[in-house]
Structure 1
């Protein structure tokens, strides 16, 4: 499979779930553009599209918490990606290891 096989949405984006390769821990979910997928494959680090800033960003370029890509996979419909990474530092901008630290409770 290659980039041309992916099904980007009407904004030119595809969802990417980022997972620690050796533990299975889900670290974050972000959006990728065709260009960020290309950069991720070429550089071996994760690149995403910021919907709020309308620009590419290389995860960890500012914080130093780079994510080294082990493998980038597409799901069976080619409309969602899974990035298996080695992420030695926090993945969340809050400083938490994962963005998924808020447990929901029944009311």
Structure 2
């Protein structure tokens, strides 16, 4: 008895396929996680199935995926939120960095000299 997901982590709504072995031959297969049904299908005559999951129903976090097909098969799935910097943000960050470096290097020219003579 085996339940394998083609990936262990996915972004919300990302594509995941479940492969299972050891089901009752010809049985209906219901896949669920976090109390939500995320896939259905039928096991073949050898008790094997391949079913895509609807991961969009799951929130960010770790989930236990269950396949009910006679026996109960289990697998883990992490739904992760990935962020990335856009090119505009990266450009602005570099511009600010070089502006600060320039101010540090030329601060003596920008600030008036303070006289220490009395």
Same fold (TM over 0.5): no
Higher normalized strand content (fraction of residues): 2
Higher normalized helix content (fraction of residues): 2
Which of these two proteins has the greater Rg computed from alpha carbons?
2
TM-score per shorter chain, which class? under 0.3
How high is the TM-score relative to the length of structure 2?
0.24
